[in-house]
Structure formats: structure tokens, C-alpha cells
Amino acid sequence: MEEHKKEKRYSRVYDQLAVLVKKSHNQQARMATVVAVLHHKMDHFFWTGFYMIDQGEMTVNVYQGPVACQILEKNKGVCWAAYNRKETLVVEDVHQFPGHIACDSRSNSEIVVPFKNREGEILGVLDIDSKEKAAFSAVDAGWLEKILQLIIL
């Protein structure tokens, strides 16, 4: 998707989510709403979901797309890298990423955004895969970081 089209789409999605997430004070419901809207409104998203830290493990949470890896091997792959670096990671070609965990071989690029609470503690990550190589950019990163701010309780 062209960058200017992404900007417009994300702007509309953000406005929609800003209204929808206010309807619940339940973290799980807000996360599920974000995942559903993103997955169905962004054409280049193949798998969209959260992995959350649970007793030191990164465990799948709400998602849309093909069956996910249930638990990600500690300190391996893009999700753990984003968590450990405390920053959003954009990977143009996951097959070139050292230690990439292939939950679905059809995924070719990925973006992972840390999900924090009000105190700044990372609770997990928003993980999005695409079948397209180089599907994600700074536009995706900026909007997804902004969208995650909507669901912090």
C-alpha cells in the first residue's frame, strides 16, 4: 500500500478505534477490538495479535489470522527482540532475521510494537505479519504506537 494511502487509512482507523475502545474498561475487550479492526481494515495485514508476558513467557493472546504459536521461545525472534530492546521493530524480510520464529511460512515481513502500561512497563507486544515483503514502514510504526495508547488503562 502506498504511504499516503496508509496515512489516510490509519487516520480513519484511529478515529474509529478512539470511539470503540471507550465503550469498555476491560483490557482484553479493548485489545480484541483493536486487533479486529486493524486486521480487517488494513489490507496488508496477514496475522494481527498480541503476545503477552505471562510468568516470564511470551504467550499468545487475542489475535486474528491463522493459528498462532502458543508460546514463543524466550529471547528468540522478532517479538522478543522488540520486547528486550523496548522499541518497535520493522522487519522487511523475516527470513533474514536471525532467530526468526516461523509460526506460518507464508509470513514475509513483520512489525512488532511493545505494549506498555501507564507506568511504562512492557506487558507484551502487538505483532503483525504480512505475506508481502517490506510491507511495513515508519508510517505503520507511528500509527500503531499511537493506537496502542488508546487501550492503556
pLDDT digits over 8-51, tens only? 999 999 999 999 999 999 999 999 999 999 999 999 999 999 99
pLDDT digits over 95-150, tens only? 999 989 989 999 999 999 999 999 999 999 999 999 999 999 999 999 999 999 99
- Split at pLDDT 50, 70, 90, the class of 57 is very high
> Does the pLDDT value for residue 1 go beyond 80?
no
Superfamily of domain covering 3-150: GAF domain (3.30.450.40)
Residue ranges covered by each domain of the chain: 3-150
Q: CA 105 to CA 99: how far, in whole Å?
A: 14
- Read off the C-alpha cell for 83: 520486547
- Read off the C-alpha cell for 43: 489490507
The pTM of this model reads 0.96
- Read off the C-alpha cell for 122: 512492557
Encode burial over 13-33: b for 16+ CB neighbours within 10 A, e otherwise. Answer: bbeebeebbeeeeebeebbbb
- Residue 130 has a pLDDT of 98
- Residue 153 has a pLDDT of 78
